[in-house]
Amino acid sequence: MPTTQQQASMHAVNLAQKASLIDQHWSPRVVAEMNDYQFKVVRIEGEFIWHSHPETDEAFFVIEGKLRIDLPQGSIYVAPGELYVVPRGVAHRTAAEGEAKLMIIEPGGILNTGHEGGERTADNDVWI
């Protein structure tokens, strides 16, 4: 988290290019920070587990493919160039038929499985 004025990077981040470097599904990688928030890219395929983040909203932006977000009220479909924010505390399950590449925006330190934990919990704060 930057607490003093930083030297600015002289390069923009290409989200699709960064996502293509990830060698496995469901493994978010940090590509940029904004205050105490992180921008992560992730490749997904199939269904994740139901979980929630009681402490924070979580934003999903689709780079490639089609994201389905299952919510208690039904499913949201998010296409490339679209954004969806899951409110804090709302149970959700992300999924994609075929591969999707996403950007996730949320505070640093948030685990992909929320408070569920378990074997699908990815290493956190890994940059690419």
49 to 68: interface string for a second copy, x by CB under 8 A: -------xxxx-x-x-----
* Cα distances (Å, whole numbers) of residue 32 to 20, 91, 105: 16, 26, 10
Closer residue to a second copy in complex, CB, 50/119: 50
Closer residue to a second copy in complex, CB, 24/73: 73
Q: Which of 14, 12, 5, 8 is nearest to 64 (CA)?
A: 14
Closer residue to a second copy in complex, CB, 56/121: 56
Q: What are phi and psi of 112, to 5 degrees?
A: -65, -25
72 to 111: interface string for a second copy, x by CB under 8 A: -xx-xxxx-xxxxxxxxxx------------x-xxx----
Q: How far is the C-alpha of 109 from the C-alpha of 104, rounded, in Å?
A: 13
Closer residue to a second copy in complex, CB, 10/23: 10
Beta-carbon count within 10 A of 41 CB: 27
Q: Is the dihedral of CA 12, 17, 66, 60 positive or negative?
A: negative
Chain residues that interact with a second copy, rule: CB under 8 A:
2, 5-16, 31-35, 37, 39, 56-59, 61, 63, 71, 73-74, 76-79, 81-90, 103, 105-107
